[in-house]
Amino acid sequence: MTTSSKKDYWIIGSLLFLSLIPAIAGIIRFHQVMTGNGYTIENQRFFNDPIPVLTHIFSVVFFSILGAFQFAPGFRKKHIIWHKISGRFLVLVGVVSALSGLWLTLVYPKVPTDGNWLFGIRLVVGIWMFICIFVGFIFILKRNISKHSHWMIRGYAIGMGAGTQVFTHLPWFIIVGGDPSGVPRDLMMGAGWFINFVFAEWIIRKKNS
């Protein structure tokens, strides 16, 4: 196995692993809503108005899985036609993911465990993800591959925040136990997106060096 192949396997494998838990959680939520099982006071908003959350789940799952293959350089060069075709679909589901996430934030009733900060954080994250994907799409139309790559990395990193949030919540689950609420939950949720934001900027600067 060449060094390039090893790098591709590492990138694809890591991103798919990061996608795994949110994807499983989304599939479980999808099954609950479709079958009517698992109804509680906390998640009744999903059953009362299922279309937005089902749209969000569908778009996020495809965005995270397809994106894992977009950023492996060797795989991308070897499958350039696939990269272009799937990339168009990735832009579509990425935009749908960002907009549906904003819809969930603005329209759905506030979750009791959410603190006051999380509403604003989610708005910033959703808007930023939409901007990143839109700008990345504009740059590919202008054939500016480098800038396109940078902005799509940013958009994908933010979209993968749910995967990183599994790890930012892990110390709480181990040490405190139970589900966090209020400010601790807000900080752990925000930390997932912030870590991905910083990592994306580090990757971009590393590519430019």
Residue 2: band (very low, low, confident or very high) from pLDDT cuts 50, 70, 90: low
pLDDT tens per residue across span 108-143: 888 888 888 999 999 999 999 999 999 999 999 999
86 in Cβ contact with 70 (< 8 Å): yes
The CA distance from 170 to 154, in Å, is: 24
pLDDT above 80 for 4: no
CA-nearest of 52, 180, 163, 32 to 109 is 52
- Per the structure, the count of domains in the chain is 1
| Residue 138 belongs to domain spanning | 3-208
Q: DSSP for 164-209, please give it.
A: HHHHHHHHHHHHT-S---BHHHHHHHHHHHHHHHHHHHHHHHHHH-
- The helix (run of H) or strand (run of E) holding residue 161 is helix 161-175
pLDDT at residue 51 tops 70? yes
Q: How many residues can be counted in the chain? A: 209
> Model confidence over 136-194: pLDDT tens digits?
999 999 999 999 999 999 999 999 999 999 999 999 999 998 888 899 999 999 999 99
Total-model pTM: 0.89
- The rounded mean pLDDT for the chain is 89
Torsion over CA of 67, 150, 195 and 106, rounded to 10 degrees?
-70
